[in-house]
Structure 1
């Protein structure tokens, strides 16, 4: 039955918002605010108990709380979608052309290195905090693109594309960091089993297997093996995604169809649920003065200062040296605003924070505080600068 014209007119703005880049950012802001509110309300105990109480029985003994199922299980879907996006970009997108990927790769690399250096300059004097160096190195694609979506046409398409590409390369770096620096106690039997499953998936790809279900089954088996291997389970999502065929022999794009089928679930369910389960910081226990402690201050400064200096500085230097030009039709003020938005860490930063201090709940909470405050400052600053910057204004490099 067709909807009445009045109802269609009333629903249209909400559907447009739901389909826009802005919705994912707004949703993340809402769930983060809800989590913080609950963690500082009379329901704080219920919020903590809901996610961290141990199950009497779990189909996978290693995952005996809802929090673990979200962080080690459901987040594998997030990393799977990231892996699909990375492979598509490398084969047929912005990372396929050496000339167009030159600037984003440089900006992403310096945009990860500088926050780490800023973090270590503040917190590196305390040995127990050194493991958190990678927390401010990440950029949250959904959050950053959501802020850009709120600005609509004030952000040139070239700048939007540059931000998206930097964030994708940033994700590649973050995944490598998790695999190399936040894995411990490797169990070779499980690792060999994971390698065997990956080999089967490669064979399915090589011989043109066109059905999706064998890849889905193998991806689940790969995740199960990696979960028990000592390497963080979410890495299995990336590995599986990189093996999914871009195109089968008849021209069918399994990768693109999987990405299109999962991207909505990822941005509207997986990431918000992770944010809701992890963003709750008990401010009443820590106190606002806790932000001046070395860990939250280092994380916040890394996101706000390190990201801006690293990304804006590399783009400015690249243009001065003739290595690459800034996005076409953009002013330096707009490049600065984009650099500030890259300081929105949220999802990946919260994730790395939990990995960095698995045996210290207090340090995890302090890391969360730094991520949330640093991301908020970066979002407000980036939005304000891009809102005030003149569109399509060309200026000489300072």
Structure 2
């Protein structure tokens, strides 16, 4: 299987981003539990324009991340792995299983409790971290598994976005929502009229983000909606979609995601931090990510192949899919993001315990996935063709 240059560039940026995320997370946790603990945590809670710095990162900068996800998903649909429905079915089914089974495990433990709203937390996969860990295995990983995990993670993020839009929107200001969709409609008309300059789309995107922010629907949804009205054309280097996607790769990988990680992992860990791990919420998160993710991805992928609607790549075995599923259990960025939405009215304690559970689950998933794939792929791949 050949890798396109676009995919290779994306994989390399996500690889570097994952390693950077690991570094800044460790640094943030150390600072949050050092002698400057109070000053460090207070900085991220500093209010600017009636919102904390952390809030601006989560609702503002993360919109840019979702814009990039939307652009990458669009490219996958038109020219990538998802363009061929037979190839797309396997990661689509895998992603569905990787969302349904973890959410089911969480709900079995938390249904009817105050924390049942956190069912979306173990559904998410962190692309950067998952690919970052996969990259540590070097050239022993075949291209087909890299493509499978990347496509699965992108589809998984789309699922997380839908979950946010449907389940984590409490009150809706319909006038602001209407204004946002009017702007979206205007941008769609620009697209159909073949307006290829990025400026009107970016200006319209900022206005749409403002109205979405004040509508009750999470503002980051704007990023995905905007991605699909920016002209894709033939997907070449001169198209608006291509230019914006490649411009955003490095800022998102090396600024947006690290800032999100730093701001949301400045967790003060008390001596009794482990007590929260016995709560149904923490158990649901850990079991959902560590057990539910690989189990769901494996079972649903097997179902797709058994039904004859997809096929397993020739250079992969089911034990390899299981290893990719383990890496899918690295929730981190998206899981923390959903945590903030799910428990924003339940107090800081439940959010902190949830974050600790996510960190533990992501560490275990990354470690198990790395060791499992290292065991199942003992010999390096001789060469990878890039077209």
TM-score of the superposed pair, with normalisation by structure 2: 0.91
Deviation, 1:22, is 3.1
Alignment partner of 1:334 is 2:320:
yes
Q: Please give the residue correspondences for 1:299-318 in structure 2 after superposition, counting only pairs within 5 Å.
A: 299-318=285-304
Does the 8 Å contact 1:345/1:371 carry over to 2? yes
Cα separation, partners in 2 of 1:312 and 1:284, compared to 1, 3 Å: same
| 2:235–2:241 Cα contact (<8 Å) kept | no
Partner of residue 277, structure 2? 291
Show CA shifts across 1:141-163 (max 9, x none).
Answer: 11101111111112111011000
Match of 1:67 among 10, 30, 54: 54
Higher RCO (C-alpha under 8 Å, 6+ residues apart): 2
For the aligned residues, what is the CA RMSD? 2.1
Partner of 1:5: none
Residues 144-223 of structure 1 correspond to what in structure 2 (within 5 A)? 144-223=130-209
SS at 1:208 equivalent: coil
- Residue 46 of structure 1 is matched in structure 2 by 39
* Aligned equivalents of 1:96, 1:324: Cα separation in 2: 14
SS at match of 2:326: helix
Deviations 1:328-350 (A, max 9, x none): 21133222211100000011100
What are the within-5 Å matches in structure 2 for residues 264-283 of structure 1?
264-283=250-269
CA distance in 2 between counterparts of 1:23 and 1:77 reads 18
2: CA distance between counterparts of 1:288 and 1:39?
Answer: 17
The DSSP-based 3-state class of the residue aligned with 1:204 is: helix
CA distance in 1, matches of 2:63, 2:130: 21
Residue 251 of structure 1 and its aligned partner are, at CA, apart by: 8.5
Residues 116-125 or 134-143, more deviating: 116-125
CA contact (8 A) 2:273 2:353 kept: no
1:283 match: secondary structure:
coil
Query: For the structure 1 residues 202 and 346, does the alpha-carbon distance in structure 2 shift closer, same or farther, using more than 3 Å as the test?
Result: same
Q: Is 1:26 aligned to 2:12, yes or no? A: no
- 8 A contact 1:139–1:348 mirrored in 2: yes
Change (3 A) 1:366 1:200: same
Secondary structure of 1:329's aligned partner: coil
Asked whether 1:225 is paired with 2:225, we answer no
Q: 1:267 to 1:258 in 2, by over 3 A?
A: same
Tell me the distance in 2 between the aligned counterparts of 1:79 and 1:390.
33
Shift of the 121–249 alpha-carbon distance from structure 1 to 2, 3 Å rule, reads closer
The residue number in structure 2 matching 1:7 is none
Distance in 2 (alpha carbons) for counterparts of 1:89 and 1:181: 26
| 1:200 CA drift (Å) | 1.3
Instruction: Give structure 1 stretches of 5+ with no counterpart.
Output: 1-15, 394-398
Mapped pair 1:379 → 2:366 = yes
Q: Paired residue for 1:389?
A: 376
Helix, strand or coil at the partner of 1:243: coil
Kindly state the Cα deviation for residue 54 of structure 1 after the two structures are TM-superposed: 2.4
Task: Provide closer, same or farther for how the CA distance between residues 19 and 232 of structure 1 changes in structure 2, counting only shifts above 3 A.
Answer: same
TM-score norm. by structure 1 comes to: 0.89
CA deviation after TM superposition for structure 1 residue 292, in Å? 2.1
Deviation string for 1:368-388 (max 9, x for gaps)?
Answer: 111111100000000001111
Report the equivalent of 2:222. Answer: 236
Range moving further from structure 2, 324-333 or 131-140: 324-333
User: What residue number does 1:246 align with?
Assistant: 232
The answer to whether the Cα contact below 8 Å between 1:156 and 1:392 also exists between their aligned partners in 2 is: no
